[in-house]
Structure 1
Amino acid sequence: MAKPHGKSDDRPPGMLDVARVAGVSAQTVSRVLSGRPHVQPQTRERVLAAVEKLGYRRNNAARVLSSGRSRTLGVVTLRTTFYSRAALTAGIENAARAAGYEVTTAAAASLDTSGIEAALSRLADQDVEGVILAVPLIHTSARIEQFTRTTPTIAVDGSRTDTTDVVAVDQALAARKATQHLLDLGHETVWHIAGPEHWLEAARRREGWRATLEEAGRPVPPQLEGDWSPASGYRNGLLLGRIPEATAVFVASDEMAFGVIRALTELGRRVPDDVSLVSVDDIDLAAYCTPPLTTVAQPFARTGELAVAHLLRHINDPAGTIVPESVEPRLVVRASTAPYAGT
């Protein structure tokens, strides 16, 4: 059977598909399907024709209240078990609830444009009033740009479309704080186990690490790369632990750091006596590993609060000025770092 015009994959058609075929915004589609006034007859006909052509079936036909507002915010996140994503989402949900809003989450199966588009389409079907993007936009697309032009959207990792507001932790500063802490302890240089290359957060941390070393006139070791998982930290720790001159390492996340510590321990290299280690996030487990992690805390709850505040401001004042906001991370010193004890 031939696929409906305007749709090239096997997923059910969503509101963004209807909007594209009808040549209107997702919000206009929502107004038509909710029976709201102030829609031109010709526009209504185009939307209904697109619905018929695509075989679109609405998932949430009665969500919009009589006021025309759903009191619901959407969050796009990656389908993952990483603690940092869960902590950020919890911060968003708490802030939204305090403001009288519900939150619906759409997990993207991947970070390519089709995965993000599918997640946005599911949120459009839920009549969300605005969206928080908790994923890095590696690439954008016409559909993503159209959605963010017509629906208030906040990004929380620094990536953006032409019309997206940004509330983000200063990741380069996080790396600078971690790297400078190790240099201040007397280490000649600092090795780095980075996050995935395509994640903007990882890229900013690499930049901050490299810039701090270069400004201090220190050699910049070759970087190692993980995927945020403890397993990738473990693999890189087995490599790093065999380099005698590696006495200090900045790991891009706490979860990778757990794997690094295990690898170093298995190789007989003690933390922090032989290798000092700093990571990023300050998840709950960081204070309870052996040794307790020195880490740069990301204020997940505060970031969620600010993202919701920015989003509600745009919902209530769509013509208002977009002013990005940077959140400062905080160094938390524990037992995984110590002064250089070189010979």
Structure 2
Amino acid sequence: MVDVARLAGVSHQTVSRVLNSPEGVRPATRDKVLKAIKELGYRRNMAARALVTSSSRLIGVVTASSEFFGPASTASAIEAAARDAGYGTLVTSLQTSDEVEISEAFGFLVNREVDGIISVAPRTGIAAAATAAARSVPMVVVADGFEPQGRIHVVSVDQELGARMVVRHLIGAGRRRIAYVAGPDDWFDAQARERGWRSALEDSGLAPAGRFSGDWTAESGYEAGTALCLQIAAEGPQRAPDAVFCSNDLMALGLLAAARDQGVRVPQDLAVVGYDDTAGSAFFAPALTTVTQPFEELGRLCLEVLLSALEGEPGMWHSVSPTLRVRRSSV
């Protein structure tokens, strides 16, 4: 820092202000200091800073396995937002997501003296471990349906709203018998999407046309799609489902393959909608109508909420809204 100050012709206190509170430094002075920092290749000593401020400038992130699109996208967005805010991230990825593993992951991060934790492990088994870890550090849980409490804030995409958008779209397209392919029962987001499907049907005076169990994979979507197509063949077009909402895009992909193999036309015989707007979903055959989740916005909100929690703000619920992307599979 002394070398930066000497090259810029300012005091080391001014350099410190540029690094910590740049808005309080005159633009001309700030520009000189930043130019000197760049020229010298200066890097802050974060270990020394932690000793002075009692802050590690580290955020712990617990996430479900990277094979899952939503948690992986959210964790990536959190890392980017933290980096922009001058924080590093320490990420631990869960393999089984059972209660023991979740508790160990939180303990690992607390022992590394992170300033706070953001949990992107949206399974119901997280509750007890999150409550215990929050006694040590503030926490943000990314899960639609988790209840905020004490030092635990909840941030999520409004999954129920996304599901309601899907059902309203299908009804608007003339569909009246709407089935559903569910995600795993122990995922908060899967539960919220199912609540949205059921409540939107009820509001429109329609009954569920069938529920099929899935596990987020294309294989489970194919199995559900095969069963659905056999139901269509047995009941005929006047009684069988004329639309299906899959709670993620991979299951929709499997279902589309099953429909093709069983000779069911999409969307003529069966409208299909997914959820997530995964990369490539516009190139499914046919292009998939789906729900887009604003992961970058979600990541920024997670960090903003955690920083507020570090200032002592009590646990609250915060959400962002998804959008419906209509493509050929449903119209």
- The reply to whether TM is greater than 0.5 is yes
Moved more, 75-84 or 91-100: 75-84
Unaligned runs of 5+ in 2: 1-46, 233-239
- Check if 1:333 corresponds to 2:322: no
> Could you tell me which residue of structure 1 aligns to residue 50 of structure 2?
65
Deviation per CA, 1:108-145, whole angstroms, max 9, x where unpaired? Answer: 23333212101111212322111111112524576542
The 5 A counterparts of 1:240-279 are: 240-244=228-232, 245-279=240-274
Pairing partner for 1:103 from 86, 89, 94: 89
1:281-308, Cα deviation, whole Å (9 max, x unpaired):
1122212222111111111111111001
Match of 2:294 in 1: 299
TM-score, length-scaled by structure 1: 0.76
Residue of structure 2 in register with 1:119 after alignment: 105
Q: Give aligned pairs, total.
A: 275
Q: How far 1:65 moved relative to its partner?
A: 2.6
Separation in structure 2 between the aligned mates of residue 188 and residue 146 of structure 1, nearest angstrom: 46
Letter in 2 for 1:212: A
Matches within 5 A, 1:19-30: none
Cα deviation digits, residues 35-68 of structure 1 (max 9, x gap): xxxxxxxxxxxxxxxxxxxxxxxxxxx7983222
Identify the structure with the greater helix proportion.
2
Q: CA deviation at 1:79?
A: 2.3
Provide the rounded CA distance (Å) in 1 between the counterparts of 2:66 and 2:224. 21
Contact (CA 8 Å) 1:134, 1:155: kept in 2 or not? yes
CA contact 1:156–1:303 (8 Å) conserved in 2: no
Deviation at 1:194, TM superposition (A): 0.6
* Residues 1:149 and 2:135 aligned together: yes
Pick one of 200, 206, 209 that aligns with 1:212: 200
**64 and 267 in structure 1: CA distance in 2 versus 1, 3 angstrom threshold:** farther
Q: Which has the larger radius of gyration?
A: 2
Q: 1:312 aligns with which of 304, 307, 331?
A: 307
Name the residue aligned to 1:14.
Answer: none
Residue in 2 that maps onto 1:162: 149
Residue identity matched to 1:82: F
Q: Specify whether residues 186 and 143 from structure 1 end up closer, same or farther in structure 2 by C-alpha distance, changes over 3 A only.
A: closer
Q: Pick from 81, 87, 92: which aligns with 2:73?
A: 87
Cα distance change, pair 140–81 in 1 and its aligned pair in 2 (3 A): closer
Identity %: 35
Q: What letter is aligned with 2:182?
A: A
The answer on whether the counterparts of 1:111 and 1:138 sit within 8 Å (CA) in structure 2 is no
- 311 and 264 in structure 1: CA distance in 2 versus 1, 3 angstrom threshold: same
Q: Distance in 2 between matches of 1:252 and 1:226?
A: 9
Between the aligned partners of 2:143 and 2:104, the Cα distance in structure 1 is: 20
Aligned to 1:226: 214
Q: Is 1:324 matched up with 2:317?
A: yes
- When residues 155 and 305 of structure 1 are mapped into structure 2, their CA distance, relative to the original with a 3 A threshold, is same
Structure 1: tracts of 5 or more residues without a match: 1-61, 339-343
In 2, Cα distance between the equivalents of 1:142 and 1:239? 37
* Deviating more after overlay: 213-222 vs 251-260: 213-222
Determine if the alignment matches structure 1 residue 186 to structure 2 residue 174.
Answer: yes
**Residue 248 to residue 138, structure 1, CA distance change in 2 (3 Å):** same
Is the 2:181–2:247 contact (alpha carbons within 8 Å) kept by the matching residues of 1?
Answer: yes
| Residues 260-286 of structure 1 deviation map (CA, whole Å, 9 limit, x = unaligned) | 111111111121122111111112221
2:40 is aligned to none
Structure 1's 137 and 270: CA in aligned 2 closer, same or farther, altered over 3 A?
Answer: closer
The alignment partner of 2:274 has SS state of: strand
TM-score (norm 2): 0.79
Question: What corresponds to 1:8 in structure 2?
Answer: none
1:180–1:284 Cα change, 3 Å: same
CA contact (8 A) 1:155 1:166 kept: yes
Q: CA deviation at 1:160?
A: 4.2
Equivalent-residue separation in structure 2 for 1:151 and 1:256 (angstroms): 37
